[in-house]
Structure formats: C-alpha cells, structure tokens
Chains A and B, each alone.
Chain A
Amino acid sequence: MMNTFFYNNDTLLYVKDNSRSERYGIQPGGICIRFVFIMVNALKYRFTDHTADFGIQAFGKTLEQVFENAAFAISDLITDTNILEGTHSQSISVGGDARDDLMVNWLREILYLWHGMGMLVKQTSVKEITEFRLMADIIYDLYDKDKHEIRNEIKAITYHQLEVNRNVDGWFANFILDV
C-alpha cells in the first residue's frame, strides 16, 4: 500500500492507512481542508509499533513544538483534551543532562501533574529551551470525575529506544510509554 503525505501550514501529515483517506474522499496527492481539520491531532504525534506498550512519535517544526506535541500525546492518551476548558495555569521548569533526557523528564513531569496533582493538561507552551533546561506554561483543568473520562493509565515514560532528533521536516521524538 502506498503511503500518502499531506502538509498543512507547519506540520507533516503522515497517513499510513489509505482506507482512512478514502473514507474522507481523498486521493493520494490531493488535499482536503476538512480532512486536515479532522486529522489535526494526529499530526502532532502518531503511534509506533510496540507489543505490550504504547510507542509514540511526536513531530514539531521547532524544538519547542516537538516538546509541546509530545506533552500533548500524553494528555491526549489520558483524556479528551477537547472538553478541557483551560481554567488554570502554571509555569514549570524542567532539567536534564541532554536533549533526550530533558524530554523524558519533561514528560515525567506532565504525567506527575496528573497522577500526583489531579491536573489534566490542555495545552503547554514552551517559553525557553536549551539542551539542558526548559521553561513552560501549562494550561490545565482540575480533574472532575463527573466531567472527565480517563482513557488510559500510563505507568511511566521509558528510556527504551528514546530519540529526539532533527529530520527534513523539523524535529521528531520517539519514546515508549509503559501502560
């Protein structure tokens, strides 16, 4: 089966399964605004194959964006971010001893906000980033069991096959979640 690629303004669209594009009336090589809108969350990350756990690949035009999109992948697996209102905000700072270590620590922090503090993160905005530290604003809702459905229990972010790197389209991050 042929792979189909779509671009919107700043992010690579990767469609592995053509049956989906056919369902939305799209031919390989073509583009459709409605489809782009529907796929918008999928552009931020995709699943990679792993037998027992979740393998994730997050994308970003910039380094800031790949960190934001990786955090979004975690939030999106935990709950439906569309119904979050973003009622609260907080700034956090995370360190690491290399770029990939920084990614794991950042995602650990996002996960702890949920597990330890009951915070469901709607959006993150990376304000400053170096190889060893980042500062970010976190917009979140506090968990309300009558309002929010919890989709998956993510136990941890692992170091297995971890990679944060550049490619022709910007940046990508590969990581595996223990679920």
Chain B
Amino acid sequence: MDLIRKNDYLWEIPKTGNMNVPGKIYSSSSMIDSVSKEEACKQVANVAELPGIVTASLAMPDIHWGYGFPIGGVAAFDWKEGIVSPGGVGYDINCGVRLATSNLHVDDVQSRLEDLADDLFHGTPSGVGSTGSIKLSKKEVKKVLEQGSQWAALHGFGEELDIRRTEDQGCMDNADPEAVSERALERGTQQLGTLGSGNHFLELGVVEEIFDPDTAAKFGLFHGQITMMIHSGSRGLGYQVCDDFLADLTRHARKSAYPLPDRQLAYAMIQSVQGQRYLSAMACAANYAWANRQIMMHRAEAVIMRTLGISPNTLSMQLLYDVCHNIAKKEEHMIENRKTWLCVHRKGATRSFPPGHPSLPEEFRTTGQPILIPGDMGTASYILAGTEKAMTETFGSTCHGAGRVLSRNAAKKASRGRSIQNELAGKGITVRWTGRSTLAEEMPEAYKDISDVVAVVHGAGISRKVAKLRPLVVIKG
C-alpha cells in the first residue's frame, strides 16, 4: 500500500477508490516498515470508506492488525449524517486503564514485594472466565449499568474523588439497560470486580523518571513513588453487547446496497433507532467497566494496607485518572473552522484532552488530561498529558499502549526453553499469573517497545511526556 511520508511522525494513505477521506498513520521511520506490511494499513483505508467520516481515518503508533478497524484506530463521524460501528469500539467495551498514586516510597516496600504479589494475586479474582465474590441479580446488574462508578462508590468501593477523576465521571448518561440482551445481563451477574485474562493486569510500579516536574507535581507524582495501575474492561457483558449488535447489523448490511469492505465494519446510522440503541447498550457496558475497575482498585488498596500493616493515611492512595481505550463518544470538535458534534471512535486509543477543556476536573485544567500508557510487563509505563495539538489533529486522541508485534503462538514459540518468570525476576519484577500460557503469550518481546511508541506521540505533539514508571509487581490473568 502507498504510504507518503508527511513529516518525521506522520504518514498518509492517499484518498483513492471508495475512500471518503485519506488515512493518516502516526509512526516513526523505524516502525513504519512493519506497519506497512501488515493488514492494519488496509484496515485504515477500509475505515475511510464508511459514511460520514470526517477529516481522516487515523492510526496511532501502536497500530496493529485488528478485525474491521485496526487496533490503534481513531475515526470520527458526523453526529447527524455519520455512522456508529460496534467493530469500531471492539468487543471489550471500555477496556481501559486507571492509575492510583500513593504516599509510599519504593524503599518502604522493596523487602515486601513477594508478600504484596501473593496477597494481591489472591485478592484480585483473575484468569479465564474469572468470577468474583460479588454476585448480582439481573436487577442489580441493571443498576450498575445505569450508574457506573457511582454504583461502586454507593456500595462502599470508592469515594467522590475517584468519581471526579474518571473519564465521564465513570458514567455515560445515555445508558439504557433495556438495550442490553438477557445473555449479556446474565454474563454480568458474576464478573464484577474481576480482572479477566490476556493482556489485563494489576501492577505496582515505581516512578522512575520525571520529564515535566511542574505537571508531575500537579499530578501528585514524585520520584521513587509507588503507584498502582489496573488494566481491565467490561468482561463478558461487554463482549456479549458487541456480539449481539454485530450479528444484527451484519444482517442489515447484507440487505444494504452499499457493500462493506469487511463485514466486521457493520454499522448503523447514528440517528437511526439501531444506532441509538447500540450507543445506549455500549454506554451500559462502559459503565460496568468503570464500576469493575473501581471495585478492583478499592479492594487492592485494602490488600496493600493489610499486608504492610499500614493505615489509609500512611498509604494515602488516590486515583490519578481512569481512561478508556475502546469507546465511541459524542464530542464537539472544530471541523473546517466550525464547531461540530462528532461520534469519535477510539479502538485501542486514548483520549488526550488539552488544558482548559471543560470535561476535565478542576485540578487538571492547567495541565491537560492525565493519560496512562501501559507498556509490556517487563519494561515501563508512561504518564502523559493531553495537548491542544491532539484537538486539532487527532480529535483529542493518542496511543494506548505498546501494540503487539508477535502473535500469541509466535510468542509461545519464542519463549520455549526459557523461564519468563526468572527473566523478569532478574529485572526486579515479581510476577504472579493464572493461565498456563499467559506469561509466554504476554512476554515483553511480543510487544513493540513502549518508549518508541511514546516518542512518536510526544514528538508529534499529540500528548507530552510527564513521567515514566517501572513495574515492580505484576498480577496477570
């Protein structure tokens, strides 16, 4: 596929054939070669064919081959004349990340990392099909779907600050549980407060490097500080919502005169009954995910206090922020000098709102939105801040993580005869996991180097580096 280099960080797929807009890929000269060989480029072009898309079909530097939309894809559609696509959100609706800061220094916990790993592992239901100790009736699940993080806080799993520092205050207000199938509700009854498997994790880290001292101070970060990061989503409920709507919309697409380049791109017009119904169901799943991460954080906090025998005051754990990766949102952006309502799809991409944006809590109005970018379990994670340039270039979006380079089977093959656990231990990382093959599939080499990915979004100016974290304890599903 033809890729035209526009500058050090941006490549363009020219508008050809049925494309309504060009494709734009943020990358670097060292990463673009592998991107151009992958199916992902074709997927960026396919998304550009969808009705109502504005400006460009975008991809962040952690782009990789998805199904339908690429992972790392961002696409915005006119709210009146555009579409919404469940495939543009993904199965794990509101898969996302939160980071909590603490008052602990790495020297305070260095000798207790093994104990913390054991206790956090036992205290966090994880692994394939994991179920938690919270069993809900379908009626109660519906309340979670309507209230999101607020439900968790009302039931003693959090406080006001947590709600304020969650994207959308942990609740999308158009959630309508009547749009969610019985099957999805059923799957939601037993999985609240559970991590899941695959690339989901809970991680204790340490602030290793600070790039912007002013912003870091406003984010409450200091060198040597212990942090906790949680990566999880809406579990089976979210997968089922996506699956239900895809099945329905694919049937629709077959009857339509417009041929889809990939059936996984099935869509509904935003203003249609189906489109609104999907957005209501998606909001439900997003709210479930926020409640899920809120509950896990609250429980992990209790585990840390118990293990270390310290008070809430000593630990002083505070949510920095919670971001979603897989979502479609109604947002206002400037298109050709006019304020326009759009449906911004971020599939494996993070919101990156600038200083002064009204959606941000008061304390982040001068810094821009905190952005949390997890790397693989053996290297680093980054804390970034949102920028004005993201608003003008990427609908207020940036990357979401490292992005895979090895398939799960290739990773398993590459790990044969090695002990990934010992290799990580050699780097001072204590790991606990559930699935037999999780560790091999998730080995550091399976991912792009997170520092390369972050260098692109920082260099391109669509977010800026604030601090770097090094993992200490990793709990994998």
Contact with B along A153-167 (1 / 0, CB 8 A): 101111111100000
A interface footprint on B177-216 (CB within 8 Å = 1, 0 otherwise): 0000001001100000000111000000000000000000
Which residues of B lie under 8 Å from residue A22 when comparing CB positions?
Answer: none
Whether A147 is near chain B, meaning CB under 8 Å from some CB there, is: no
CB pair B65–A178 under 8 Å, yes or no, is: no
Determine if A153 and B436 form an interchain contact, defined as CB atoms under 8 angstroms apart: no
B251 at the A interface (CB under 8 A)? yes
B186 pairs with A155, CB closer than 8 A: no
Indicate whether A159 sits within 8 Å of B407 (C-beta atoms), given known contacts A150-B128, A151-B436, A152-B128.
no
The tally of residues in A whose CB lies under 8 Å from a CB in B reads 33
A153 CA / B476 CA spacing, docked (Å):
13
A116 touches B183 (CB 8 A): yes
Q: Are A156 and B242 neighbours in the complex by a CB distance under 8 Å?
A: yes
Q: Is the CB of A179 within 8 A of B408?
A: yes
At the interface, yes or no: B31 with Cβ under 8 Å from chain A?
no
Residue among A97, A115, A156, A159 with the highest chain B CB neighbour number at 10 A: A159
Is B16 in the interface zone, CB < 8 Å from A? no
Contact A51/B406 with A108-B247, A156-B243 known, Cβ cut-off 8 Å: yes
Closest to A105 in B: B247
Question: Within 8 Å CB of B66, what residues of A?
Answer: 52, 160
Q: A51-B38, A116-B186 are in contact. Are A162 and B408 (CB under 8 A)?
A: no
- The answer on a CB contact under 8 Å between B197 and A153 is yes
In this assembly, does B92 line the interface, its C-beta being within 8 Å of a C-beta of chain A? Answer: yes
**CB pair B183 A50 closer than 8 Å:** no
Contact A52 B65, CB 8 Å, known A97-B251, A153-B198: yes
Number of B residues near A (Cβ < 8 Å) is: 43
**Closest Cβ–Cβ distance, residue B127 to chain A (whole Å):** 7
What residues on A are CB-neighbors of B187 within 8 Å? Answer: 115-116
Tell me whether A156 and B436 are in contact (CB under 8 A).
no
- Of all chain A residues, the one with the shortest Cβ separation from B65 is A51
- Whether A112 is near chain B, meaning CB under 8 Å from some CB there, is yes
Distance in angstroms from B198 CB to nearest chain A CB is: 6
Indicate whether B263 reaches chain A with its CB closer than 8 angstroms: yes
In the assembled complex, A176 has its CB within 8 A of some CB on chain B: yes
Specify which of B239, B262, B406 is in contact with A156 (CB 8 Å cutoff): B239
Max chain A Cβ within 10 angstroms of own Cβ: one of B242, B264, B266, B406: B264
Q: For B71, what are the chain A residues with a Cβ–Cβ distance below 8 Å?
A: 52
Contacting pair A153 B196 (CB below 8 A) = yes
State the main secondary structure of chain A at its contact with B: loop
Interface centre among A47, A54, A105, A155 (most CB of B within 10 A): A155
> B262, A151: Cβ atoms under 8 Å?
no
Given contacts A97-B254, A150-B129, A156-B243, contact A52 B197 (CB under 8 A): no
A49 proximal to B (CB < 8 A): yes
A10 within 8 A of B: no
From residue A92, how far is it (CB to closest CB) to chain B in Å? 14
Which of B64, B127, B240, B242 touches A51 (beta carbons < 8 Å)?
A: B64
CA distance A161 to B435 in the complex (A): 28
Interface residues of A in 132-155 (CB under 8 A from B): 149-153, 155
**Does B409 lie at the interface of the complex (its beta carbon under 8 Å from any beta carbon of A)?**
yes
Q: Is B404 at the interface (CB under 8 A from chain A)? A: yes
Interchain CB contact under 8 A, A179 and B198: yes
**Cα distance A49–B64 in the bound complex, in angstroms:** 13
- Residue A101 interfacial (CB < 8 Å): yes
Q: Which residues from B are CB-within-8-Å of A50?
A: 65, 407
How far apart are the CA atoms of A66 and B183 in the complex, in Å? 27
Q: Which of B297-321 contact A (CB under 8 A)?
A: none
Give the interface centre of B64, B66, B406, B436 by most chain A CB atoms within 10 Å.
B66
Q: What separation, in Å, do the CA atoms of A162 and B409 have in the docked complex?
A: 20
Complex CA–CA separation, A112 to B409 (angstroms): 25
Given the contacts A97-B254, A108-B243, A151-B435, A158 and B408 also touching, CB distance less than 8 Å = no
Q: How distant is the Cα of A116 from the Cα of B183 in the complex, in angstroms?
A: 7
Q: What A residues does B128 contact at CB under 8 A?
A: 150-153
B370 nearest CB across to chain A (Å)? 26
B246 within 8 Å of A by Cβ? yes
A115-B187, A155-B239 known; A51 vs B404 contact (CB < 8 Å): yes
- Give the distance in Å from the alpha carbon of A70 to the alpha carbon of B240 in the complex: 20
Interface presence of A169 (CB below 8 A): no
B341: CB under 8 A from chain A? no
Chain A, Cβ-Cβ closest to B92: A155
A51-B129 in contact given A160-B68, A178-B67 (Cβ < 8 Å): no
| Nearest CB in chain A: distance from B288 CB, A | 15
**Cβ contacts under 8 Å, A153 to chain B:** 128-129, 196-198, 477
CB-CB < 8 A to B239: which residues of A? 155-156, 178
Instruction: Please tell me if the beta carbons of A101 and B250 are within 8 angstroms of each other in the complex.
Output: yes
The CA-CA distance from A144 to B117 in the complex, in Å, is 27
- In the complex, A49→B198 CA distance in Å? 18
Q: A77 to B371, alpha carbons, bound, how many Å?
A: 35
- Residues of chain B at the chain A interface (Cβ within 8 Å): 38, 64-68, 71, 90-92, 127-129, 183, 186-187, 196-198, 236, 239-240, 242-243, 246-247, 250-251, 254, 262-264, 266, 404-409, 435-437, 477
Not counting A149-B436, A150-B128, a sample of 20 additional A-B residue pairs whose C-beta atoms are within 8 angstroms of each other reads A50-B65, A51-B38, A51-B65, A52-B66, A52-B71, A54-B408, A98-B254, A108-B247, A114-B129, A150-B127, A151-B128, A153-B129, A153-B196, A158-B67, A158-B264, A159-B67, A159-B250, A160-B68, A178-B67, A179-B198
